[in-house]
Amino acid sequence: MISDTRHHRRWTRLRRRYKVTLGQSPSFSVDVGGGGFCTELLRVLPPGTPVEGTIHVRGKDLPFTGRVAWAKPGFPHLGVRGRMGVLFTHFTSSFMEADREPERPAG
């Protein structure tokens, strides 16, 4: 008997590239959802690390706190980014709501 070991997410993920700031380190998201996001950066943090930051969506900086759920290191000396998944522990806004709003003109 073969067991199904695929991971089923509780939240739908959308492929979106948003600017993410973790502390002082800027990065970009790969995908986002109601429960968290995946980001690419040169130096990943270990799983379990608490994080806080903002996600820039359609002219708004949305603050969040969370923890690193998983991390896949890259090769910083070669300029290859790693990826890490962040699970929200506190997020006051919804990506989905902010993503549906029309973009504000700059200026």
- pTM attached to this predicted model: 0.76
pLDDT one digit per residue (tens) for the chain, 107 residues: 444 444 555 667 788 899 999 988 889 999 988 889 999 998 899 999 999 999 998 888 999 999 999 999 999 889 899 999 999 998 766 655 665 655 555 44
In whole angstroms, give the CA distance from residue 96 to residue 4. 30
Per-domain residue ranges of the chain? 13-100
Question: 3-state class of 78 per DSSP?
Answer: helix
The DSSP letter of residue 41 is: E
Would you state the pLDDT for residue 4? 44
Quote the CATH superfamily of domain 13-100: predicted glycosyltransferase like domains (2.40.10.220)
- Picking from 3, 13, 58, the residue whose alpha carbon sits closest to that of residue 39 is 13
Local structure of 105: helix, strand or coil: coil
pLDDT of residue 31: 92
Whose CA is closest to 93, among 59, 42, 43, 68? 59
* Listed residue (86, 81, 87, 83) closest to 72, CA to CA: 83
